[in-house]
């Protein structure tokens, strides 16, 4: 969404509209423009309700953190980013032995 201001009879009207209308022409998006005042009032009502219930915010953040942790555990690139701290003990000792100047007895 992008902002748009229209003027009619010396009065300004503020809207939010799809950016595709600007980029690709008037008929590129079926979504109608929304009066900025109406959209902003709805957003503030949503934010106010959320702030009145801190437990809901905490539960949402806990869920988000859990999803992100699960993502990081499951991807090989995330394991590489963690480095030695995320690798099993035998991998560290095997790497240390193979790079040691004094190999086995």
DSSP lists the bridge partners of residue 34 as: 16
pLDDT-derived band of residue 105, with 50, 70 and 90 as boundaries? very low
Domain count for the chain: 1
| CA separation for the pair 16, 24 (Å, rounded) | 16
- Tell me what pLDDT residue 37 has: 92
Cα angle: 42, vertex 47, 50; to 5 degrees: 130
What is the tens place of the pLDDT at every residue in 17-52?
Answer: 887 877 787 778 888 888 999 999 999 999 998 889
- Tell me what pLDDT residue 40 has: 93
Name the residue range of residue 66's domain: 2-74
| CA separation for the pair 4, 18 (Å, rounded) | 10
- Tell me what pLDDT residue 79 has: 59
Where is mean pLDDT largest: 41-50, 67-76, 89-98?
Answer: 41-50
Q: Is residue 66 part of a domain?
A: yes
DSSP codes, 17-70: E-HHHHHH-TTS--PPPEEHHHHHHHHHHHHHHHHH-HHHHHHHHHHHHHHHHH
Q: Is residue 81 part of a domain?
A: no
């Amino acid at each position: 969404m992008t902002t748009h201001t229209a003027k009619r009879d010396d009065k300004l009207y503020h809207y939010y509209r799809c950016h595709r209308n600007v980029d690709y022409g008037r008929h590129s998006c079926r979504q109608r423009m929304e009066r900025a005042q109406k959209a902003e009032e709805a957003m503030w009502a949503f934010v106010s309700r959320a702030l009145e219930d801190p437990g809901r915010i905490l539960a949402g953040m806990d869920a988000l953190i859990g999803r992100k942790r699960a993502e990081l555990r499951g991807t090989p690139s995330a394991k590489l980013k963690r480095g030695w701290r995320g690798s099993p003990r035998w991998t560290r000792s095997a790497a240390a032995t193979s790079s040691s100047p004094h190999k086995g007895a």
